[in-house]
C-alpha cells in the first residue's frame, strides 16, 4: 500500500505518519509538505529513512499529480489552521485550504485514487454554553472565521466531487486535538512552554469558551478506521466527549506543573471567538466500532506536558518568534 499524506510534517499529520508506519510496517509512505512555519522536518527526523518527504505545495498541480498517480490512498491534512492568522491575512487560507483541496480532488479524480479529507468541527460555527446539542454530520455549516469558512468550502468541494464525478472520498470533522508535535502557537502547548520558561499562562477573555478535546493519536486511529471501513461519500465526526472550557484547561495545566491554579493572566479575547464546540460521534462509534484510548483528559494532558519537557530541542527554536507575535497583539 502506497499512502500519500499531505501536511505530514505538521502536528496531526506528523503523528499520522508515525502511526501509519506502526500500523502498516510494509506501507510505502510519501509526505507532501510545504514546510511553512507550521511544518517541521524535525517531527519526522526519527523516521526520515522510512518515508519520502517531498517539499511542495498542495496547490501546485505539477507537484501533486505525479504523487497522486502512484498512490493507493491520499490522506489530506495540509491546511492553514490558526484562527488568529486567518484574521490577520486570509489569503493563504484560501490558497491552501480551497485551491489545494481542488488540486488534490482533480488529481484523485484523474487517477481514480481513494481520498480522505481531514476537516474541523469549526465549519459548524458554535453552540451556546447552555445548549445540550452537539454537532452531527447533518448540522448546517455556519463558519465564523476565514479559517473555518475556507475549511467549510473545502468540505463542500469534496462532497461535490463525490456526487458529480464519482470520486471515492470520505470526510472527517474533528474536535480540538492535543498531544506531541503541536506548534507552540496553539493553546495548550503555548501554556505549557510558557510555564517551562517561568511565564504565566495567557487566557483569552473570561476563559468560558468550551472545546471538545481529543488526543491526536485517538483522532488518527479514527481516520484509519474511516479509510478502511467508512462508506464512500459519508462524513464522520471524530470526538471523545472531552468538553472543557479554556479556564479549566489552563487551571489543570497549572496544577499538573506544580503551580497555583489561578496563576494566569487574562488577555484580550479573540474577535468572533466561538463559544462552544461539541461532537456527537455516534456514527463513528456505532458504524465503525471506534473508541478512544485516551479517555482521561488529565492523564493525556500530563503525557503531553511530559513530552514538551522532554523535547525542548524541538520547540525552543520557535518560542521567541511566537511570543513576539503574540506580544504585538497584546496577548
Work out the pLDDT band at 306, boundaries 50, 70, 90: very high
- Of 25, 5, 168, 14, nearest to 71 (Cα)? 5
Exposed e or buried b per residue across 188-221, where buried means at least 16 C-beta atoms within 10 angstroms of its C-beta:
bbbbbbbbbeeeebbbbeebebbbbbbbbbbbbb
Q: Which residue has the higher pLDDT, 105 or 329?
A: 105
221 included as an active-site residue = no
Does the pLDDT of residue 309 top 90, yes or no? yes
Which one-letter DSSP state was computed for residue 98? Answer: I
pLDDT of residue 35: 97
User: CA-to-CA distance for 297 and 290, rounded, in angstroms?
Assistant: 18
Q: Are 191 and 250 in contact (CB under 8 A)?
A: yes
Please say if 147 is a catalytic residue: yes
CA 37 from chain centre, in angstroms, equals 15
- 31 vs 84, higher pLDDT: 31
The pLDDT of residue 292 is 97
Give residue 271's pLDDT. Answer: 73
Tell me what pLDDT residue 135 has: 97
Q: Which of 33, 80, 121, 212 is catalytic?
A: 121
Q: What is the pLDDT of residues 223-266, one digit of tens each?
A: 999 999 999 999 999 999 999 999 999 999 999 999 999 999 99
Q: Length of the chain, please?
A: 331
Please indicate, yes or no, whether the overall pTM of this predicted structure exceeds 0.75: yes
Residue 161 has pLDDT above 80, yes or no: yes
Q: Indicate if the pLDDT at residue 290 is higher than 80.
A: yes
Query: Cell for 270?
Result: 479573540
| pLDDT confidence bin for 81, thresholds 50/70/90 | confident
Q: Please state the φ and ψ torsions of residue 227, each to the nearest 5 degrees.
A: -60, -40
Q: Which of 295, 32, 36 is nearest to 183 (CA)?
A: 36
pLDDT at res. 274: 86
pLDDT tens-digit map of 96-149: 999 999 999 999 999 999 999 999 999 999 999 999 999 999 999 999 999 999
DSSP string, 127-159: --TT----B-TTSPP---SHHHHHHHHHHHHHH
Of the candidates 80, 122, 218, 274, the residue annotated as catalytic is 122
> How far out from the chain centre does Cα 26 lie?
26
CA-based nearest residue to 205, from 187, 230, 180, 183: 187
Res. 276 pLDDT band, cuts 50 70 90: very high
Per-residue model confidence (pLDDT) at position 25? 97
Contact 115, 105 (CB under 8 A): yes
121 has catalytic annotation = yes
Mean residue pLDDT of the chain comes to 95
What percent of the chain has a predicted confidence (pLDDT) above 70?
100
- The torsion angles phi and psi of 311, rounded to 5 degrees, stand at -125, 45
- CATH number for the domain whose boundaries are 2-178+213-238: 3.40.50.720
Q: What is the pLDDT of residue 75?
A: 99
**307 exposed, middle or buried (CB, 10 Å; 0-12, 13-18, 19+)?**
middle
How many angstroms separate the CA atoms of 61 and 103, rounded? 6
Catalytic residue (one of 147, 178, 204, 308): 147
**Using only C-alpha atoms, what is the Rg of the chain?**
19
- Residue 324's pLDDT band, with cuts at 50, 70 and 90, is confident
Amino acid at each position: 500500500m502506497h499512502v500519500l499524506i499531505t501536511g505530514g510534517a505538521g502536528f496531526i499529520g506528523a503523528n499520522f505518519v508515525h502511526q501509519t508506519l506502526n500500523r502498516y510496517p510494509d506501507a510505502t509512505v510519501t509526505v507532501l509538505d510545504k514546510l511553512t512555519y507550521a511544518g517541521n522536518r524535525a517531527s519526522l527526523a526519527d523516521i526520515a529513512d522510512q518515508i519520502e518527504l517531498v517539499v511542495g505545495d498542495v496547490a501546485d498541480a505539477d507537484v501533486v499529480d505525479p504523487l497522486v498517480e502512484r498512490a493507493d490512498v491520499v490522506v489530506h491534512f495540509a491546511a492553514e489552521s490558526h484562527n488568529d492568522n486567518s484574521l490577520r491575512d486570509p489569503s493563504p487560507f484560501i490558497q491552501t485550504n480551497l485551491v489545494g483541496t481542488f488540486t488534490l480532488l482533480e488529481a484523485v479524480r484523474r487517477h481514480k485514487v481513494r481520498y480522505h479529507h481531514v476537516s474541523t468541527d469549526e465549519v459548524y460555527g458554535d453552540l451556546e454554553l447552555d445548549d445540550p446539542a452537539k454537532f452531527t454530520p447533518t448540522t448546517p455549516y455556519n463558519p465564523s472565521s476565514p479559517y473555518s469558512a475556507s475549511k467549510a468550502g473545502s468540505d463542500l468541494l469534496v462532497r461535490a466531487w463525490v456526487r458529480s464525478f464519482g470520486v471515492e472520498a470520505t470526510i472527517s470533522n474533528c474536535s480540538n486535538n492535543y498531544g506531541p508535535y503541536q506548534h507552540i502557537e496553539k493553546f495548550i502547548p503555548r501554556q505549557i512552554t510558557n510555564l517551562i520558561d517561568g511565564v504565566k499562562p495567557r487566557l483569552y477573555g473570561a476563559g468560558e469558551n468550551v472545546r471538545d478535546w481529543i488526543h491526536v493519536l485517538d483522532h488518527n486511529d479514527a481516520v484509519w478506521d474511516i479509510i478502511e471501513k467508512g462508506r464512500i461519500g459519508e462524513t464522520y465526526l471524530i470526538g471523545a466527549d472531552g468538553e472543557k472550557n479554556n479556564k479549566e484547561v489552563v487551571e489543570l495545566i497549572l496544577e499538573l506543573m506544580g503551580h497555583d491554579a489561578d496563576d494566569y493572566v487574562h488577555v484580550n479575547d479573540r474577535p468572533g471567538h466561538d463559544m462552544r464546540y461539541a461532537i456527537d460521534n455516534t456514527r463513528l462509534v456505532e458504524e465503525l466500532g471506534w473508541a478512544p484510548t485516551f479517555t482521561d483528559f488529565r492523564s493525556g494532558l500530563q503525557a503531553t506536558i511530559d513530552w514538551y519537557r522532554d523535547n525542548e530541542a524541538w520547540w525552543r527554536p520557535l518560542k521567541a518568534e511566537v511570543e513576539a507575535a503574540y506580544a504585538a497583539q497584546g496577548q
